Structure 1
Amino acid sequence: MNEASETWQPERVRLWLERRAAAARLDQAAADRRGYEAQRDYDKAAAEEWVCRTLRANDRIDDQQAFAADIKALLGQDEYRATGIYDDQHFERNVRACLRKIAKMTKTNEGFANTLRYQA
């Protein structure tokens, strides 16, 4: 299994980010309907949507190394601003976790083909 043989496909990355943002919005709506006990789920989904929306707006998706550098720069931020969340620390922790996941996917160039709503 040679990972280096597969070329970077920016359209596939854009599609993955778009589908994950849509899934995160659906997860937020479901958590909102469940009420108080689902506030952590809401913050987790909001973090994933924020990351996907931010990275999708990035013009440097076409270049794998530039995209990875932008993810690294986002990981280096001290805080992330968003409205409508319940717990800032939980939100920021989930933003960093999502960024690390996408950084790993970008480095190995694997996982962007999985556009299903529910992912492990």
Structure 2
Amino acid sequence: MTDSLKPWDASLVRLWLERRFTASRLDQAAPDRRGYEGRDDFDKAAAEEWVCRLLKNADCTNDQMTFATRLKALIAQEDYPATGMNDDARFERHVRSYVRKLAKMTKANDGFGNTFRHQ
């Protein structure tokens, strides 16, 4: 990883993942009510929820290198089992893009302090 000025804070990362998990669940409600035109937004929020659910209590968050390795493995994964999605291919694309976002944040060790709902 990079030589960051601040040390890796595993509890902050887990808090960020927990807050994003909660926000993504809320972000699924409005597109679900909109119906057909909200499908992409629903799948995007569901992808964020899926990733955060998988990682928020994982031991890999304790170390920056281990977390980065886990994220690389998720990006390389072939499929992401989930039910209730509108379009599986779109959901998988959103999962990969969200994991790439997390990988960039992990590499820079930056952004985990932003725990607001809307980012």
**TM-score (normalizing by structure 2):** 0.95
Distance in 1 separating the partners of 2:30 and 2:19: 17
Distance in 1 separating the partners of 2:53 and 2:41: 18
Report the residue type matching 2:80 in the other structure: Y
User: Once superposed, what is the RMSD of the aligned Cα atoms?
Assistant: 1.3
Report Cα offsets for 1:34-67 as digits up to 9, x if no partner. Answer: 1111011100000000011111131121111001
Distance in 2 separating the partners of 1:71 and 1:55: 9
Distance in 1 separating the partners of 2:67 and 2:114: 19
Q: Which runs of 5+ in 2 are unaligned?
A: none
Distance in 1 separating the partners of 2:4 and 2:87: 40
Q: Which runs of 5+ in 1 are unaligned?
A: none
**After TM superposition, what 4+ stretches of structure 1 lie above 6 angstroms from structure 2?**
none
Which residue is 2:68 aligned to? 68
Which residue is 2:42 aligned to? 42
Q: What's the secondary structure of 1:4's corresponding residue?
A: coil
Q: Does 1:4 align with 2:9?
A: no
1:31 is displaced (CA, Å) by 1.0
1:1-120 alignment to 2 at 5 Å?
A: 4-119=4-119
Q: What's the secondary structure of 1:114's corresponding residue?
A: coil
Report Cα offsets for 1:56-95 as digits up to 9, x if no partner. Answer: 1311211110011001001110111100100011000000
Distance in 2 separating the partners of 1:53 and 1:89: 20
**TM-score (normalizing by structure 1):** 0.94
Count of matched residue pairs:
118
Distance in 2 separating the partners of 1:35 and 1:60: 37
1:30 is displaced (CA, Å) by 1.2
Report the residue type matching 1:109 in the other structure: N
1:99 is displaced (CA, Å) by 0.2
Identity across the alignment (%)? 59
